[in-house]
A = this chain, B = another copy of it.
Amino acid sequence: MPVEGATYREAMSRLGAAVNVITTIDERGRHGLTASAVCSVTDQPATLLVCINRSSRSRVAFRVGGPICVNTLAHAQREISVAFAGRLGMEERFEEGVWTTLATGAPVLEEALVSFDCLVSSIVEVGTHSVIFCHVQEIRLGDAAEALVYFARAYHGLSHQPG
């Protein structure tokens, strides 16, 4: 018997995860959305993956060979997570935070805990979601010491000190 969506989402709320803003740019402008489904795949060559909903407004902007940046948020950037997860228009979202670019041209968030500037290497469609594989082209490490983590349907801070 298949697991119900509500049961699965409740269970998944217990999988604590870093909060990231995933960005790109195309002929229509900048795009971005908040995502916690990000994980490392391999360091040879440096590759990560991002899962995003196919119904998200930004989905069509991510294309094989195109730019994508994974900006891992610091605890102080909770408002940026909220802006990119909500109903704001795309350019309005980018009014939160200070943005720059690295190698690929995708929007890179100043003061992020870390930014992974990538090119999309492949996309696998699974049910309602797209799994986007990303080759890392350039990395920028920020100075923040505290990460923003989402767990049990709430934001948390996680500092370098073990606890």
* Contact surface of A with B, Cβ cutoff 8 Å: 2-3, 5, 7-12, 14-18, 20, 36-49, 51, 72, 113-114, 116, 124, 126-129, 131, 133, 136-139, 141, 147, 149, 151-152, 154-158, 160, 162-163
Contact = CB atoms under 8 A, between A and B. Distances in A.
Given A18-B16, A157-B163, A141 B45 contact: no
A20 B5 CA distance: 21
Given A44-B127, A46-B8, A149-B149, A137 B39 contact: no
Given A46-B8, A154-B162, A51 B39 contact: yes
Contacts of A51: 39-42, 49
B42 A129 contact: yes
A39 B37 contact: yes
A156 B158 contact: yes
B40 A10 contact: no
A44 B152 CA distance: 21
A114 B41 contact: no
Given A46-B2, A51-B40, A127-B42, A136 B15 contact: no
Given A18-B16, A47-B127, A136 B39 contact: no
